[in-house]
Structure 1
Amino acid sequence: MKSPPWPKGKKLVHLDLKGAPPRVEYLHKLIELFSQLGVDGLLVEYEDMFPYEGELKLLQATAQPAYSREEILSVQELARSKGMEVIPLVQTFGHMEFVLKHRPMWSLREVAECVGTLNPHQEGGVRLVMEILRQVVELHPDVNTLHIGADEVYMLGEGEESKLWLASPGHTVEQLFLSHVTKVARAIKQAWPHITIIMWDDMMRGMSQDTLKASGLAGLVQPMLWDYTPNLDVDTTVSLLEKYCSAGMSDLWAASSFKGSTSVYTCVPSTQRHVDNHLEWLKVAASVSAGVNLQGIAITGWQRYDHLSVLCELMPVALPSLAACLQTLSHGQFSTEAQSKVTEKLGVSSVEVEAMERTSADDSLFPGRRLAELTVELNSLLNSEDIRFFENNMFVRGWFSPYHRQRKMVSPLIIMQIHSHASTYLATLQQKAEAMREEMVRLYPESTAQEWIEEHFSPIVAPLQRISEDIRVCVAEMVP
């Protein structure tokens, strides 16, 4: 069923830099592509890739160097030349793992074992947040909008100081949340009156209209409703938007997803899944009342679920999904026309990255295509039953069980055959992984290639390597 195209407002693409931060040359190529795909702005989550200075220097990444000031300015300059706004996303309450993991910052956690949540009672916490924001704003001379995060503030109210505070009559966890966010938003408005503030909405979903009204947040922030599921509940989402609107927050944003939201370790995305998410968002946009002023949609592409989780899909394998989602928004459906625009622009035969054959030799409109192809090939090998369940095949279980290995009493003929299979698989996998690593370090730091290999490749080849080694030892014992 066709919906009207996405009504108005900006289409932002989210750059999540807390994992697999692209080399700056690759970022420039991506921005060129985004602009050709009709993107109006970038929502940039720097996290530990920002060149913090002074007492914040310890927040910089150590696995690879943070971006330099010049690199960050060059990205903004290129985006601006393409008519794209750059909106920095800086977490100010939850998901502050990249800050609170550092020993000097431990005392600012709400509870000791939750590395993500800031203690809202400590003056030092707001000071720290404002210093992070000050450095980010200073390096974004044209900034008009800031996203202050504030999603998934886990364990809030569980800290000792919070428990004391909550013991007073009329004090609730909801108020605890709202008062911190309001304090941060007011401090931002005081420092930079022209800046518009966006925040994630999930912590406010269960709150009543009256609670929200009383908080003083209306007029200070624009909530961004996120839902990345292909079966998003349209009615519930519409009524949430209406609730925020009635609470005085009529300027609202949506957030969908083109990658990084299927599972925490997904490595190749399904375009259809993400297109379905956008089709639901189109229904939401078509159903809200006139009072809801949709400012735009942020199409998120998570690189990790949080600072301490594994890598999700890398950007190159997700570009067909992103292009398809953007075409869906502008057509109001994922029609044949929308699909052919994607395949034409990217020079591929299918919008699904697993099925995309090249249709053009020209690589220019699909930056990172070679890495996407290699990822798909290697991923499908790593997931093939023969390799993944090698230890469960009849010959290994029947003639080379742990019992056999321990006693080194084996049938040389059969285990030499097992060895030959294992070696063939290993050689193929290693060759593919090497090609992929080579391609990956052209677009990403060495640390990203290392992490990808250790996450996706090493656990699958380890059993094959173990079996090969054990066979070598056993054969030496049994064959003259």
Structure 2
Amino acid sequence: MSCPPWPKGKKLVHLDLKGAPPRAEYLHQLIELFSKLGVEGLLVEYEDMFPYEGQLKMLQATAQPAYSQGEILSLQEFAKFKGMEVIPLVQTFGHMEFVLKHRPMWGLREVAHCVGTLNPHKEEAVGLVMEMLRQVVALHPGLNTLHIGADEVYMLGEGEESKLWLASPGCTVEQLFLSHVTKVAKAIKEAWPHMTIIMWDDMMRGMSKDTLKASGLVGLVQPMLWDYSPNLDVKRTVSLLEKYCSASMSELWAASSFKGSTAVYTCVPSTQRHVENHLQWLEVAASLPANVKLKGIAITGWQRYDHLSVLCELIPVALPSLAACLQTLIHGQFNTEAESKVTQMLGVSSVEAETMERTSAVDSLFPGGRLAQLIVELDSLLKSEDIRFFENSMFVRGWFSPYQRQRKMVTPLITMQINKQASTYLAILQQKVETVTAEMVHLYPDSTAQEWIEEHVTPVMSPLERITEDIRICVKEMVP
């Protein structure tokens, strides 16, 4: 499929820092690469990595230090030097887990068991959001654009105060959502009249044109319509964009994905999947009537589905996907020429991380390329059936079942063979883990390496370790 290249408008890359925050030096290397790939701006979601001060200091990460003020200023200066605008993304309604998880903030939840949604009826809620924004804006000199999030506001309307509010005639959950976002947007415009405000669109998708027009949001915000599916519904997406435009929200954005949208625990992305998402977005852009203009596209790279979920694919292993997606937008298709540009720029043989091999003689590939290769190797090992389903093998199930282990009545000859195989697998995995860890801590905090190993490797190694320990105990009972 071939479409015109992506129309005028900025190509932003989303840096999701709420998990696996890159070391400052690695962030600079990434920005250098992004500039070569044609990126024109960064959508930066700091979350708990922002150096909040005063009463908000509790929001800072504890697993590793938040970025310093100097590091954040340096990031912006380098991005600007490379021709990129930096747009901070600060959640102001939904996905506020990193704020509302703290005990002093519990009273600001919409419902007690939903950590992500802010109670829109609390006066302190807007005050909290504005203080967060004030600190972020203060550390971004010359800032012109803010993204206020507002996606996936789960359980809205389920709190006791909301139920009372909704009992009044004509009050709906849609209006409840719109009233809070409008309040925040107006407060931003009052504080910084020049500020452009972007927000996610998903909570408005089911709303009528008239509801949006009457909300007071028109002229205050620019919706960013996100869809990360390789099977994106082009007609429906065009229709949604047309609806926003007809509601006088004519300045619109798109959001695609280069990683972090396949499965919550994915380690290695499929470049093809993400390229297909961009091909669909190209079709959307080509199908829009002249009066609907896109201001740009944010290529998202989620690091977690939310603050409390596990790590998705790390940035290094997803850089071939990002490069391929950008070339798809630039060429209007992912043809041989686009693929060749990606492999040449990154010094690899394939755009798929799982099959890429070094083609350059130099020591390093793209920034983080060595770690990407090591993760692919380890991920392949972890997925191998012999290791993952070791406990279900014929010998373990036949000669070392839970029943046999409990009674310590086993066949030593066979169990010692099982032990030898399990120990071999453990030794191979341990060696790979040490190599991955040593490389990872160059680019990420030690806490990220520990988390990644405990999430992705430990669940596979633990059963093997239990078997070897149980065999040691059982054989001791059976052999003189």
Instruction: Give the TM-score of the pair, scaled to structure 2.
Output: 0.99
1:278-297 paired onto structure 2 within 5 Å = 278-297=278-297
Question: What displacement does 1:362 show?
Answer: 2.7
| Cα distance in 2, alignment partners of residues 104 and 385 from structure 1 | 47
Q: Which amino acid aligns with 1:370?
A: R
User: 1:258·1:318 contact (CA, 8 Å) conserved in 2?
Assistant: yes
SS in 1 for 2:7: coil
**Residue in 2 that maps onto 1:25:** 25
**Residue in 2 that maps onto 1:72:** 72
Residues paired across the two proteins, number: 480
**Residue in 1 that maps onto 2:124:** 124
What is the CA deviation profile of residues 372-420 of structure 1, one whole-angstrom value per residue up to 9, with x for unaligned ones? 0110000000000000000011111111111111111111111111111
Is the alpha carbon distance of 1:185 and 1:318 closer, same or farther for their aligned partners in structure 2, counting shifts above 3 Å?
same
Question: What displacement does 1:235 show?
Answer: 0.1
Would you identify which runs of 4 or more consecutive aligned residues in structure 1 move more than 2 Å?
361-365
User: 1:259·1:302 contact (CA, 8 Å) conserved in 2?
Assistant: yes
SS in 2 for 1:249: coil
**Residue in 2 that maps onto 1:15:** 15
**Residue in 2 that maps onto 1:319:** 319
| Cα distance in 2, alignment partners of residues 392 and 123 from structure 1 | 57
Q: Which amino acid aligns with 1:291?
A: N
Question: What displacement does 1:365 show?
Answer: 5.7
Q: Percent identity?
A: 83
User: 2:348·2:365 contact (CA, 8 Å) conserved in 1?
Assistant: no
Alignment of 1:354 onto 2:351: no
1:453-472 paired onto structure 2 within 5 Å = 453-472=453-472
Alignment of 1:415 onto 2:415: yes
User: 2:260·2:304 contact (CA, 8 Å) conserved in 1?
Assistant: yes
User: 1:15·1:45 contact (CA, 8 Å) conserved in 2?
Assistant: yes
Question: What displacement does 1:364 show?
Answer: 5.5
**Residue in 2 that maps onto 1:476:** 476
**Residue in 2 that maps onto 1:381:** 381
Q: Which amino acid aligns with 2:421?
A: H
**Residue in 1 that maps onto 2:208:** 208
Q: Which amino acid aligns with 1:342?
A: V
| Cα distance in 2, alignment partners of residues 90 and 364 from structure 1 | 35
What is the CA deviation profile of residues 37-92 of structure 1, one whole-angstrom value per residue up to 9, with x for unaligned ones? 00000000000000000010000000100000000000000000001000000000
Question: What displacement does 1:474 show?
Answer: 1.3
Residues 234-243 or 397-406, more deviating: 397-406
Question: What displacement does 1:222 show?
Answer: 0.3
1:123-202 paired onto structure 2 within 5 Å = 123-202=123-202
Question: What displacement does 1:478 show?
Answer: 1.4
Unaligned regions of 5+ residues in structure 1, if any? none
SS in 2 for 1:8: coil
| Cα distance in 2, alignment partners of residues 231 and 240 from structure 1 | 16
User: 1:363·1:369 contact (CA, 8 Å) conserved in 2?
Assistant: no
| Cα distance in 1, alignment partners of residues 112 and 412 from structure 2 | 56
| Cα distance in 1, alignment partners of residues 363 and 223 from structure 2 | 39
What is the CA deviation profile of residues 419-459 of structure 1, one whole-angstrom value per residue up to 9, with x for unaligned ones? 11001000000000011011111100111011101100000
**Residue in 2 that maps onto 1:270:** 270
**Residue in 2 that maps onto 1:233:** 233
SS in 1 for 2:330: helix
User: 1:234·1:280 contact (CA, 8 Å) conserved in 2?
Assistant: yes
1:397-412 paired onto structure 2 within 5 Å = 397-412=397-412
**Residue in 2 that maps onto 1:55:** 55
| Cα distance in 1, alignment partners of residues 388 and 231 from structure 2 | 31
SS in 2 for 1:181: helix
Instruction: State the Cα RMSD in Å.
Output: 0.7
Q: Which amino acid aligns with 1:379?
A: D
SS in 1 for 2:354: helix
| Cα distance in 1, alignment partners of residues 186 and 288 from structure 2 | 29
| Cα distance in 2, alignment partners of residues 413 and 157 from structure 1 | 64
| Cα distance in 2, alignment partners of residues 247 and 419 from structure 1 | 68
| Cα distance in 2, alignment partners of residues 288 and 198 from structure 1 | 20
| Cα distance in 1, alignment partners of residues 95 and 476 from structure 2 | 54
SS in 1 for 2:457: helix
User: 1:2·1:332 contact (CA, 8 Å) conserved in 2?
Assistant: yes
Q: Which amino acid aligns with 2:286?
A: A
User: 2:79·2:86 contact (CA, 8 Å) conserved in 1?
Assistant: yes
| Cα distance in 2, alignment partners of residues 408 and 99 from structure 1 | 51
SS in 1 for 2:194: coil
SS in 1 for 2:197: strand
Q: Which amino acid aligns with 2:226?
A: W
User: 1:347·1:362 contact (CA, 8 Å) conserved in 2?
Assistant: no
User: 1:345·1:365 contact (CA, 8 Å) conserved in 2?
Assistant: no
SS in 2 for 1:63: coil
